[in-house]
Amino acid sequence: MSKIIKYTLPIALVLFAQGNPRPLSAAVQVVRIYIEPQQGFDSYIAAAIVKKKVPVVVTQNREDADYVLTSVVETHQESTGSKVARCLFLYCAGMDGNQTATVQLVNAKKEVAWAYNVKKAGAKNFQSSSEAIAKHLKKFFEEQQRAKPR
């Protein structure tokens, strides 16, 4: 039994060392984002960032943030008369109104680093809009990481 440990332990240590090509001191820098409050839409965005596994940390402290994410959400609800007229003369699809969400990611130098606009059918599609934002935000940060020199 001791011969097995005597010979396998050094081999395991060598294999482990080869499997970790980066030095331990080369830690990945974590990007921190502060999301400006916007009538509850900020909570949807934060949840979508976690769900879509965007490589950032959402912070509640603006001073700790590398970026600030601002948003504006506009909803347009169809009136009852408009719904009736639409169903009688045209078609009933799209009666729930629509929602447009616009976000800007601003860096510490007050420069807009990224912006995105999404329009969704349905005036209450906050989750769908925020998930679309998170999906494109993830793509932005992944491209930023690929562009960094190693």
pLDDT tens, position by position, 105-149: 999 999 999 999 999 988 788 999 999 999 999 999 999 988 877
pLDDT digits (tens, 9 = 90+) for 52-110: 999 999 999 999 999 999 999 998 776 666 666 666 666 665 567 789 999 999 999 99
The verdict on residue 32 lying in a domain is yes
The verdict on residue 42 lying in a domain is yes
The verdict on residue 96 lying in a domain is yes
pLDDT given for residue 134 in this prediction: 98
| Structural domain boundaries enclosing 72 | 24-147
The verdict on residue 59 lying in a domain is yes
The verdict on residue 9 lying in a domain is no
The pair of three-digit structure tokens given for residue 57, joined into one six-digit string: 């940390």
Number of domains in the chain: 1
| Number of residues that this document lists for the chain | 150
The verdict on residue 46 lying in a domain is yes
Distance CA 112, CA 62 (A): 16
Which CATH number belongs to the domain containing residue 138 in this structure? 3.30.160.150
The verdict on residue 3 lying in a domain is no
The verdict on residue 6 lying in a domain is no
Distance CA 35, CA 42 (A): 6
Within 13 A of 108's CA, how many CA atoms are on the CB side? Answer: 6
pLDDT given for residue 48 in this prediction: 97
The pair of three-digit structure tokens given for residue 48, joined into one six-digit string: 């979508």
Distance CA 67, CA 110 (A): 9
pLDDT given for residue 82 in this prediction: 63
